[in-house]
Amino acid sequence: MLGEDHSLLNEFPNHKEKIISLNTSDKSFAVDAKSYHQLDTEIRKLELKNAPIEDDPLHQMKLDRASLKDSLYQRLIAAR
C-alpha cells in the first residue's frame, strides 16, 4: 500500500518499551532508528506524490529501509 506507515512502533508494537529504552540507552540503536525513521518518511512522501523519482533509486531506498529494519529488529530481540 502506498504511503503506509512503517515506523518502528507501528511495525513492532509488542516491542514499544524496548524501542523507547534502546533509543535512550544505546546510541547506535538511536542513530539507526533515526535513519530508519527519516528514510521511511521520505519514501512515504515520494509515494504520496506519485514517486517523482526514478524506480531504481526508490527501490534502493526501500531496500535500505528493509535492511535497517532487519538490523533494528535483531537488536530488539537480543535486548533484555
Cell numbers at 37, concatenated: 525513521
What per-residue confidence (pLDDT) applies to 29? 97
Whether residue 57 has pLDDT greater than 80? yes
pLDDT band, very low/low/confident/very high, at 15 (cuts 50, 70, 90): very high
C-alpha cell at 68: 535497517
Quote the distance between the C-alpha of residue 39 and its chain's center. 7
CA 62 to chain centre: 10
The sign one gets for the Cα dihedral 30, 32, 33, 38 is positive
Model pTM score: 0.87
70-80 pLDDT per residue, tens: 999 999 999 97
